[in-house]
């Protein structure tokens, strides 16, 4: 409990990067816009966003992306079970590969994107789609790090 209380007490107000460095923030938004207009399906986009946000423990991002996913037709059940996707049959083979990529790229310090997962991705996705998946994972990880570092709170 001590660590939880320590974390709660450290949630002081911090800088607003969007206000202080608008050009940097604009660059992030441009990458986000590119991804929204890419070939990534909306389902894949949301699965990446939510799963990486769960791993990162980013309440702001989890809140935002689960709301967006629900509004665009994702089911509550699939969102609730996303943290345990390997234990269910609610995700397609493509989604399982996508989620494995998301986890491995998000946890880059634990070995990164493994050869087995990459080979599986090549079997189900064209090369440009794999690139878009990786860029989506990189982008949500950047957003999570911004939100967590600046103590951005869920709305």
2 lies in a domain? no
Distance between start and end Cα atoms, the chain: 26
**Number of domains, the chain:** 1
Q: Where are the alpha helices (DSSP H) in 74-155?
A: 76-80, 93-106, 115-124, 127-149
pLDDT in tens, 74-127: 999 999 999 999 999 999 999 999 999 999 999 999 999 999 999 999 999 999
4 lies in a domain? no
53 lies in a domain? yes
Predicted confidence at residue 100, as pLDDT, reads 98
Predicted confidence at residue 11, as pLDDT, reads 66
66 lies in a domain? yes
Predicted confidence at residue 120, as pLDDT, reads 98
Domain with 76, as residue range(s), is: 44-155
**Cα gap 64→47, rounded to integer Å:** 13
Predicted confidence at residue 2, as pLDDT, reads 45
149 lies in a domain? yes
pLDDT in tens, 1-15: 444 444 554 567 788
88 lies in a domain? yes
Predicted confidence at residue 10, as pLDDT, reads 56
DSSP character at residue 74: -
81 lies in a domain? yes
DSSP string, 17-63: HHHH-HHHHHHHHHHHHHHHTSS--HHHHHHHHHHHHHHHT-HHHHH
**Cα gap 13→82, rounded to integer Å:** 31
DSSP character at residue 89: S
Read off the CATH number of the domain in which 89 is found. 1.20.1290.10
Predicted confidence at residue 139, as pLDDT, reads 97
Q: What is the mean pLDDT of residues 59-68?
A: 96
DSSP character at residue 153: P
- pLDDT band at 155, cuts 50/70/90? confident
73 lies in a domain? yes
């Amino acid at each position: 409990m001590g660590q939880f209380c320590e974390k709660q007490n450290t949630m002081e107000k911090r800088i607003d990067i969007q206000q202080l460095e608008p050009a940097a923030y604009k660059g992030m938004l441009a990458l986000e816009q590119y991804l929204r207009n890419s070939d990534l399906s909306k389902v894949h986009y949301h699965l990446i966003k939510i799963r990486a946000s769960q791993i990162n423990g980013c309440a702001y991002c989890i809140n935002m992306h689960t709301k967006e996913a629900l509004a665009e037709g994702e089911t509550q059940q699939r969102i609730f079970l996303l943290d345990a996707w390997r234990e269910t049959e609610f995700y397609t083979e493509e989604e399982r590969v996508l989620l494995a990529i998301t986890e491995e790229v998000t946890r880059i310090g634990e070995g990164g994107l493994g050869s087995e997962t990459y080979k599986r991705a090549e079997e189900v996705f064209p090369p440009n789609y794999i690139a878009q998946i990786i860029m989506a994972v990189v982008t949500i990880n950047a957003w999570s790090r911004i939100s967590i570092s600046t103590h951005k709170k869920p709305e």
